[in-house]
Amino acid sequence: MNTFDDFKIKKQLLNAIADLGFEKPTPIQLESYSTILGGSDFVGIAQTGTGKTIAYLLPILQDLTYSDQAQPRVLILAPTRELVVQIVEQIEKLSSYLSVRVLGVYGGTNNMNSQKQAIAKGLDIIVGTPTRLYDLALTNVLRLKSIKKLIIDEVDIMLDFGYKTQLKNLFEHLPVKRQNILFSATMTTYVDELIDGFLINPVKKTISISGTPLENIRQESFCVHNFYTKVNLLNHLLKDKNEYNKVLIFVAGKLSADLLYETLNFKSETSVIHANKTDNHRSNSIEKFVNGTSRILIATDVIARGIDIDNISFVISFDTPSYPENYIHRIGRTGRAEQQGSAILFYTEKEKAQKIAIESLMNYTIPFKEFPEEVEINPQLSPEEKPKLLDEDDSAHKKSLIEVGAAFHEKSAKNSKEKTERISYKRKLKEKYKKPLRRGDKIQNLKKKKR
């Protein structure tokens, strides 16, 4: 099965696919079509950019028959407003020759009363963020007992946003007998728990990380002194406006995002998005980047994952992510749907270990580029790079440690930094989800079996 014709799908869908210009199914589409259509629970591990949205929409739309039933039969959950909008757009495009009633709902500016009115008119598919959907379900305008298929897109981000409780609350409103379809870019303990708790013998398909998208991406890396020297290098590269015509720059957090924006030479051509910016600001920034008003978009990892932007010429990792998977997500934003893309990684000596972790995950060594001679090295340290002030009482001890040797100090600082980052991230997640022990669940299951 290598073409959409082999899928044996409705003519109306084939025509829409032809209008969209898709020539052949992507690997995740090949892997998921017949299983989802067959009605089994399904877990797809695939990053954004692999065609995962169409992978679940095609079988859903193939199966959806015309109905004038008021309450929706398909529920699609997504973590962000941006993703909700994109999914609705893709449904509208795919169903241009069909009669499908679809609505996207999310919080913020989107008015709940107008959403209620739209629901009352009757729907086939409802797409939304968990909190807004739950609020609507509580009003009784939206009745979810008619749902036959539940799709959760970007489950990993959903759990990262702390939506676990909202998901469980929503599940209470759904009929027990339903088809569950989950899509996630990465497999995490929390995703695993959700699968264990709510899915029935799911068929799991993984599109390997070293699969399609990475092959289309030319990768390079520069070893750079520090934050401000990274800014100088970026300014140097971005001077070439033809080559760098649509550049997505990833930074670790919102502080770096704002600082980079303030110090970049190309402010008027640059937009910024991160979790502290309002929904409207985020939409405007994305819009400007998509329509070409801004050539450069600075973004943090989580925020950027839900957006689908084509033709990104370069993805620049301004910092080296501590979690290697994040690098894969980042570069997956270019080279999409088999187009050629480019990715550049900036790393400092301190970030070298993180770069090695990324390379071992990809099983690929990122080609190294010499730092250009004409770019000035700026010794000034950013607030985050500045050494923290020592406590009075242990300063003597720490001073002696520093004097043991820069290399030792750097290594131990790096190790302890990495350790704290990981511990605090884990702790944060634990606090957020009050993680039930899986082992416990298993014992409970065994007990049940014995009974």
Nearer to ligand AMP, 30 or 144 (CB): 30
Which residue number, 26 or 256, has a Cβ lying nearer to ligand AMP?
Answer: 26
What does DSSP assign to residue 367?
P
Query: Where does residue 225 fall: left (phi above 0), alpha (psi -120 to 50 degrees), or beta otherwise?
Result: alpha
Q: Which of 54, 366 has the CB closer to ligand AMP? A: 54
CB 198 to ligand AMP: min, Å: 23
Measure the CA angle with vertex 223, ends 218 and 229; round to 5°.
115
Contact call for residues 47 and 332 (beta carbons, < 8 A):
yes
In the complex, least distance from residue 202 CB atom to ligand AMP, rounded to whole angstroms? 20
Q: Do the beta carbons of residue 418 and residue 410 sit within 8 Å?
A: no
Q: Which residue is listed with tokens 């949205």?
A: 53
Q: In what order do the strands lie in the sheet with 74-77?
A: 102-105, 125-128, 74-77, 149-152, 179-184, 42-45, 203-206
Minimal distance in Å, beta carbon 41 to ligand AMP?
20
| Minimal distance, residue 433 CB to ligand AMP, in Å | 26
> With respect to ligand AMP, which residue has the nearer C-beta, 119 or 155?
155
Which of 35/354 has CB closer to ligand AMP? 35
Task: Please give the Cα distance from 332 to 337 (Å, whole number).
Answer: 10
- Smallest distance, ligand AMP to C-beta of residue 28, A: 8
The residue (of 25 and 79) whose beta carbon lies closer to ligand AMP is: 25
Interface with ligand AMP (CB under 6 A): 22, 25-26, 29, 48-54, 308, 310, 336-337
Q: How far is the CB of 76 from ligand AMP (least distance, A)?
A: 12
Nearest to 88 by CA among 42, 147, 151, 173: 151
- Beta strands 270-273 and 296-300, pairing class: parallel
Angle at 56 between CA 358 and CA 95, to 5 degrees: 130
